[in-house]
A and B are shown apart, each in its own frame.
Chain A
Amino acid sequence: AQTVTQSQPEMSVQEAETVTLSCTYDTSENNYYLFWYKQPPSRQMILVIRQEAYKQQNATENRFSVNFQKAAKSFSLKISDSQLGDTAMYFCAFMKHGNEKLTFGTGTRLTIIP
């Protein structure tokens, strides 16, 4: 079974600053995907970024990037130039290759301060 751990229940940062959200996971699988999802107050799950475990290169999507350390089973999310619209719950999630079932971390509530 997989586990996903997010050790930061809440974080806050000034607008335009950079913030890093932490995530660690445990699995015996070798082929898998890792995700960061954003859940705003509407509660719609929005995919922020995806990382394929067999790719060493860290994924990047505009202001969002990850630091994927496979050996350490670490998958942190960096948000650069943070914006007010980034305020939301952020969930780290694990998915085994070939099965779209997701295992989520407990989430980090991020607040961007004007």
Chain B
Amino acid sequence: GAVVSQHPSRVICKSGTSVKIECRSLDFQATTMFWYRQFPKQSLMLMATSNEGSKATYEQGVEKDKFLINHASLTLSTLTVTSAHPEDSSFYICSAGGQKNTEAFFGQGTRLTVV
């Protein structure tokens, strides 16, 4: 299957700072990637769809200015949490479809803690 790599796996930041999370497709090109958020003991909720070369599509209730998404190449999407607050602490995970577009491949996830 296709490989998706996400970095960092864990990050702790101070309140008010920004944090960037990278999602890379290692062995395939991904015109579309997806960013999910998972609170403890809850399911994965889609935040946004990252589109290569164009603006991301955000789900209802997700703040565009707070969660900046950039998909500048066919193998890299980044999620930047701006002016992070403790309530942004969560597990963020990305996914991308393979060439057949019949399943999603996930990154390892990023545990963000804002102190």
Contacts and interface: CB of A to CB of B under 8 A. Distances in A.
Contacts of A102: 34, 44, 46, 95, 104
A100 B104 contact: yes
B49 to A, nearest CB: 6
Nearest to B108: A44
A95 to B, nearest CB: 7
A98 interface: yes
B102 interface: yes
B109 A43 contact: yes
Given A91-B44, A102-B95, A105-B43, A44 B109 contact: yes
A35 B44 CA distance: 14
A47 B95 CA distance: 12
A47 B103 contact: yes
A37 to B, nearest CB: 8
Contact of B104 (A43, A95, A105): A95
A42 B93 CA distance: 12
Contact of A98 (B101, B104, B109): B101
A19 B100 CA distance: 32
Interface in A47-103: 47, 50, 52, 91, 95, 97-103
A100 B43 contact: no
B6 to A, nearest CB: 10
Interface of B: 1, 32, 34, 38, 42-46, 49, 91, 93, 95-97, 101-104, 106, 108-109, 111
Interface of A: 33, 35, 42-45, 47, 50, 52, 91, 95, 97-107
Given A47-B103, A95-B103, A106-B43, 17 more contacts: A35-B103, A43-B108, A44-B108, A91-B43, A91-B44, A95-B104, A97-B102, A100-B103, A101-B46, A101-B49, A102-B46, A102-B95, A102-B104, A104-B43, A104-B45, A105-B43, A107-B42
